[in-house]
Structure 1
Amino acid sequence: MTTLIRGGTVVSTTGRTKADVLIDGERIVALVAPGDTSLGADLAGSAEVVIEAEGKYVIPGGVDGHTHMEMPFGGTQASDTFETGTRAAAWGGTTTIVDFVVQKTGERVQDSLATWHDKAAGDCAIDYGFHQILGGVDEDSLKAMDELVGEGITSFKLFMAYPGVFYSDDGQILRAMQRASDNGSLIMMHAENGTAIDVLVAQALARGETDPIDHGRTRPWETEEEATHRAIMLARIAGAPLYIVHMSAKQAVATLAAARGEGLNVFGETCPQYLYLSLEEQLGAPGFEGAKWVCSTPLRSRAEGHQDEIWRHLRTGDLSVVSTDHCPFCMKEQKELGLGDFSKIPNGIGSVEHRLDLLYQGVVDGKISLERWVELCSTTPARMFGLYGRKGVIAPGADADVVVYDPHGHTSIGVGKTHHMNMDYSAWEGFEIEGKVDTVLSRGSVVISDGDYHGTKGHGKFLRRELCQNLI
């Protein structure tokens, strides 16, 4: 089938241009400037499907490099399945996710990967890839890193937090980084000082401080900044590239920026919650309401200026990517596991449906440019995770993952409005966006248009990823 997206403004990382986009099957085959007749005088007449995009932006489909569908955590599991989560992603203009395979201590890495392939295969509405969490670093898992790189799993996540669950000590981290330096893979790091946090949590509970806001208070910025510095130093010793996930503290990002200023291959990711939400307003909501926003790293104080600084670092390029860390839990029977003890609240927020909209509001508010919006949400994550060329760009030969975005539209976020995630509440209830996802194509197939879902379960394909394309 041939499809023509006509009359829109194509936005890339370097600018915007008026052009029609011609799609043949699953691939983009041409960008045609107004008045260009080299492909024939009547493209619209010859195309089988014509999508009108006059007055709208045409951008590459969003790439969310950090999601957790069906992830086991805290005695339960993330409420979105690969089916429901990828469908919600499509509603929000995200056409690719990279999810995390979870290896528990004592489990073979290859067995955990097989489990995640079984979970996702035949269920995804959009294309997907995998990162591998290493829950235990030993000789077997180090050998498995080499094997997985050959299978298109080219990034590995380690945790400096959650002792007894995912935690790796400095020696284990160094060994994994040395292996990554050898095989070219990317180390992703959850940078919080987990052993110190556990002490602070125990002390808070002993004092009777059990509310959701105490989750944030027991994970102070110092625990993120210290771990960020330590991770960078270990990566420097190993000569390995490093990607620090869900950065929320301005001090930690300043440490990252200093390392980047020295030319190190270190990169930072943040999430919409750290741009808009805060410890005082959300975690400090009355009663148990703050549990809705419990995540790690935690929301930071607005009075201390973290949110403004995170926006600034997005503008300067010190933060490279905005992902969601989508790990949703319902209030009933999940978040409520932590009633009376904040340490038992499952950590996670659902945002996979709203990332493009929330970041576009940053364009409207003058915090980032239109081009930077595309770069943060699509092009750079595609490059970071070895997908660029197929994903993250409107160009001949690329997969026809395309979003038509209407800057004159309006999006009201909340349950019963724009909310298709498998959750009984929205962390973004009441947010109003001056823009709207109009039409979404995944590999040439229209999955969202005219306010309706047209996608199908199983349309999404597994993506074998190349090595990171962002390294110096």
Structure 2
Amino acid sequence: MPAFDLLIRNARAVTASDIFYCDIAVKDGQIVQLGRDLPSAAMEIDAAGRYVTPGGVDAHCHLDQPEAPPIKMADDFFTGTLSAACGGSTTVIPFAAQQKGQSLRAAVEDYHRRAGNQAHIDYAFHLIVSDPTPTVLGEELPALIREGYTSFKIYMTYDSLKLNDGQILDVLSVAREHGAMVMIHAENADCIEWLTQRLEASGKTAPRYHAHARPMLVEREATHRAIALGELVDVPILIVHVSGSDAVEQIRWARAHGLNVFAETCPQYLFLSAEDLGLDDSYGGARCVCSPPPRSKANQQVIWQGLADGLFTVFSSDHAPFRFEGEDGKKPGNKEQPFRHIPNGIPGLETRMALLWSEGVMAGLITPQKFVELTATNPAKTYGLHPRKGSLSIGADADLVIWDEREFVLTNSMLHHNVDYTPYEGMRLSAWPGLTLSRGEVVWDGMTFTGKPGAGQFLKRGLPTLLPRRCK
């Protein structure tokens, strides 16, 4: 009887620290041995010297999140996890979003119903805290942290989600007491509203003015304030989707002063710019409306530098899928809308890994080890899933990607999400996952998706294992 269920031979294995050649043996969905010339298995795959990395952990994505009618997210857990797997991600962490007036527990229960038996790969939930009542702070949030929901996101913008500084301090205090990780969307809501009203009064409502209403200084101010609030409570924080130099400077300042500030960025800040929102008043730029918006091309280099030198802990998609055509997407009610009313977000679950491997690793801007750190190992550590996830080691889940390096032009027709466009249409890439394994099962063979809905497991998470320094 074969010693293993699966054996990947001749792998050029990559971890967050090393590259080495080996065979990878899998049994009962876990990696059980790394070595050379290992015994035969029931199924064998020859990696033929290709790079093999841990499956991606996309730690910031939105799936089937409730929206005000007629708007609806295009991807649910079925299509979202399918497209993630085809792009090399084997774990996703979307958000259970509390609505104001709703209990946090009810939001979690609703999200479990939405996930149902639809997920093809493993998943967990962040919480979105939008109504931190005494019951939420004193009872629900501590209980949910104990149950494995060990991270939550808070907003400094959007009327339906934003918290004031006092509320933020209350949430941070709960995180400190219970060891949870807080993610912060840092943009100054009052500045955005002030600018938006003036743009509207001048008739400047096309999609491109979305960026004018959210200049870098509103992200800079909110990032600075978030850092100060975290310092006051003496708790680590993570600033999500950092877009440019102003916020980067604030985070570098905080790090230089010994503060525990982590940072995340996303593909749109490497590959899109303000020009993608439109050079005129046409509506096509609505495809790229997201917050913070894409910045200048010069800022792309600042973000690349932050990825290379360790400023950024996590590289996520911030997948927020809305169709361009149809009444439930970027044209609510089938009408072109002022930028204020365009649903914020762009698709990116399936393209996240290939974009960074092709344009980062193969272009020499980051190492393969840094790629693994940013896309798999650090997200797993940050959100309490390591070493089960994000690790190419004995005992880890056999979530693996074998990379094909080949030239092709990216088109939306290649992708498996339920969105009718990709903002990266026409990009010439040089790598794509040639095979994706989820807990030892092939779910993508480079041409065909072979996973099954319901195969994905809900993951109860531990506390973050990134070990922060104590604040001064």
Interval of TM-score (by shorter of Structure 1 and Structure 2): over 0.9
Aligned partner of residue 166 in structure 1, secondary structure: coil
2-side partners of 1:226 and 1:253: how far apart? 12
Aligned partner of residue 30 in structure 1, secondary structure: strand
2-side partners of 1:411 and 1:51: how far apart? 24
The alpha-carbon deviation at position 398 of structure 1 amounts to 0.3
Amino acid at match of 1:412: V
Aligned twin of 1:241: 236
Does residue 343 (structure 1) correspond to residue 340 (structure 2)? The answer is: yes
Aligned twin of 2:311: 318
Give structure 1 regions of 4+ aligned residues with deviation exceeding 4 angstroms.
none
Q: TM-score, normalised by structure 2?
A: 0.95
The change in CA–CA distance for 1:317 and 1:227 in structure 2 (over 3 A counts) is same
Q: Deviations over 1:313-351 (max 9, x none)?
A: 111111111101101100112111272411110001000
Amino acid at match of 1:463: L
The aligned runs of 1:104-183 (5 Å cut-off) are: 104-143=99-138, 144-163=140-159, 165-183=160-178
The alpha-carbon deviation at position 285 of structure 1 amounts to 6.5
> Which of 335-344 and 150-159 deviates more?
335-344
The aligned runs of 1:19-418 (5 Å cut-off) are: 19-33=22-36, 43=39, 46-73=40-67, 75=69, 76-143=71-138, 144-163=140-159, 165-284=160-279, 287-302=282-297, 305-332=298-325, 333=327, 334-337=329-332, 339-360=336-357, 361-407=359-405, 409-417=406-414
Amino acid at match of 1:188: M
The alpha-carbon deviation at position 371 of structure 1 amounts to 0.9
Does residue 18 (structure 1) correspond to residue 14 (structure 2)? The answer is: no
Q: In the comparison of the two structures, how many residue pairs are matched? A: 458
Contact residue 216 and residue 283 of structure 1 kept, 8 A: no
1-side partners of 2:282 and 2:86: how far apart? 32
Which 5+ residue runs of structure 1 have no aligned equivalent?
Answer: none
What is the aligned-residue RMSD (CA, Å)?
1.3
The alpha-carbon deviation at position 249 of structure 1 amounts to 2.0
The change in CA–CA distance for 1:296 and 1:2 in structure 2 (over 3 A counts) is same
The alpha-carbon deviation at position 427 of structure 1 amounts to 1.3
Contact residue 177 and residue 240 of structure 1 kept, 8 A: yes
2-side partners of 1:175 and 1:456: how far apart? 42
2-side partners of 1:224 and 1:80: how far apart? 28
Aligned twin of 1:447: 443
Does residue 423 (structure 1) correspond to residue 441 (structure 2)? The answer is: no
Aligned partner of residue 59 in structure 2, secondary structure: strand
2-side partners of 1:382 and 1:283: how far apart? 36
2-side partners of 1:286 and 1:368: how far apart? 37
Aligned partner of residue 192 in structure 1, secondary structure: coil
Give the share of equivalent positions with the same residue, in percent: 40
The change in CA–CA distance for 1:437 and 1:250 in structure 2 (over 3 A counts) is same
Aligned partner of residue 72 in structure 1, secondary structure: coil
Aligned twin of 1:469: 465
The alpha-carbon deviation at position 387 of structure 1 amounts to 0.5
2-side partners of 1:214 and 1:377: how far apart? 32
Contact residue 225 and residue 249 of structure 1 kept, 8 A: no
Amino acid at match of 1:326: H
Amino acid at match of 2:440: G
